[in-house]
Structure 1
Amino acid sequence: MNTQDAAIPSLDSDLADGAITPIDRPTLHSVVVSRLRDMIIEGVLLPGTRINEGQLGQQLGVSRTPLREALKVLAMEGLVELVPGRGAMVCVLTAKDVRDMLEVLSSLEHLAGTLTCQNASDAQIGAVRTLHDEMLAFYRSGDRLQYFKKNQQIHSALIVLAGNASLAMVHDILQSKMRRIRYLGDQNDDTWSGAVADHEEMIAALEARDGPRLSAALVDHLTRTWDRVKDAI
């Protein structure tokens, strides 16, 4: 073996050491789940709509098997209801449902604000800042759906960094069910800019490691979320 060959690490060794990670290729299943989720969030599939599997599968160019598997995932997320004998329907949330979930989310995020400022590393806070900056780029370009997705990643990250698995589990369930409603909160320029201002305060509090300030910012944000969406429910 020459010196050049010796300088090249073995691929088998790298895999064994975990130095090389497999390329993440999206499966048909994950693509269908993501597409259907976006259709519900954006209102292409409206609340109360019965999903015609044959017609929808034809529109998406997929068979019923991956479509049904995707609907099962969305049912677990609370976006779709599987009704025996009737198939799948997009879930409907009443005003009371939304108020109740926002109240619980407020309590969870209030707790998370303090814990996250205590437990997050500098690198983790920097990663949230990166998500925030990416979100602002989508805001400036007017891409509401990609902005919303990044927005939700930020909220999830703040919860995960609190370091409480039970808190994260309950928050994830409610946040999933609220996706369509929260997306409605950014449908005009005034409410959208207000939500961005809320996030600016949240990231400032996080970077200052000011737990009470972050908790207050998260709760205020959710309180204003109700004001933004109540007329659309």
Structure 2
Amino acid sequence: MPISPMTKSASVYQEIKRKILDGILEPGTHLVIKQIATEYNISDIPVREALKELSVEGLVETIPHVGSKVTGISPKKIKDMLQVRECLEPFAAELAVINADQRLIDKLESYVTEMAVAFEKNDIQKYGEINKAFHRLIIEASDNQILIDAIFDMMESEKRMRMVFQIFPSILPDSFKEHHEMLTCFQEKNPVAMRELMYVHKKRSFDKMRKYFQVEDTGPVMQREPQH
């Protein structure tokens, strides 16, 4: 059965969007229509439609007679997004403790055990992956779909930024310690302590990110910590 142009357009749209959100296509990458069309063995038309949709979403900037490129995330948007997450994630963590059952606690414990291995090996990439899974599980356990969707939507945008542990390796020991403390909050069923701990946990890393993406007249200034 022949595939309709609209289906082709939707398929290309999804693939380019995935690559942008996963950081495969970095900000500033030029998106050449003919090159994309050749890659997917389709005509130019569905590619144009896909780029038009991505432009509406703010993921792609298209300049007439010049071309399209992947947009960056503005420092203002990053600041606003972190500010909202700083408020929502402690609330989600509080609800998660209230809703927690033994299966959830066991899963969180297994993540902390995996974190310990990555921490001992100084495997920053692996530690970051487990950290993300740990926090996603807590957010899902809030059992508030509006809250979950809001946080996950912001986390999708965050994928376009580098992992905080790669930029600031010095926060790893505190992070590891606090994940143990979070697990204790679940085990002791202490939602208030969990909310307060999550706020401190998030604010420290988000303050680092805000400084990293600080705005000056010349644009965002990125200040990476030295590796030890």
What TM-score, normalized to structure 2?
Answer: 0.66
Encode CA deviations 1:172-209: one digit per residue, 9 max, x unaligned: 00111123446134434312223223322222222221
Checking the alignment, whether the CA contact within 8 Å between 1:54 and 1:64 is kept in structure 2 is no
2:121: which partner in 1? Answer: 141
SS in 2 for 1:47: coil
Q: Which residue of 2 aligns with 1:92?
A: 73
Distance 2:34 2:134 in 1: 36
The change in CA–CA distance for 1:56 and 1:130 in structure 2 (over 3 A counts) is: farther
**Which residue among 110, 127, 147 is the counterpart of 1:167?**
147
- Structure 1 residue runs of 5 or longer lacking an equivalent are 1-29
Q: Residues 47 and 174 from structure 1, CA distance in 2 versus in 1: closer, same or farther, beyond 3 angstroms? A: same
Aligned length: 189
2:60 is the counterpart of 1:82 = yes
In 2, the alpha carbon distance for the partners of 1:123 and 1:211 equals 17
Tell me, yes or no, if the aligned pair for 2:27 and 2:72 is still in contact at 8 Å: yes
How big is the shift at 1:123?
0.7
Q: Tell me the residue number matched to 1:108.
A: 88
Displacement of 1:33 in angstroms is 8.1
Percent identity, aligned pairs only, is: 19
The AA in structure 2 aligned to 1:111 is: F
Amino acid at match of 1:131: Y
Cα-Cα RMSD: 3.5
Give 2:197's aligned amino acid: A
Distance verdict in 2 for CA 1:140–1:100, change over 3 Å: same
Opposite residue 117 of structure 1, the aligned amino acid is: V
2:181 corresponding residue in structure 1: 201
Q: Structure 2 unaligned segments of length 5 or more: list them.
A: 1-13, 214-228
Task: Give the 4+ runs in structure 1 shifted more than 6 A.
Answer: 30-36, 53-58
Tell me the amino acid that sits aligned with residue 82 of structure 1: V
Give the drift of 1:57. Answer: 11
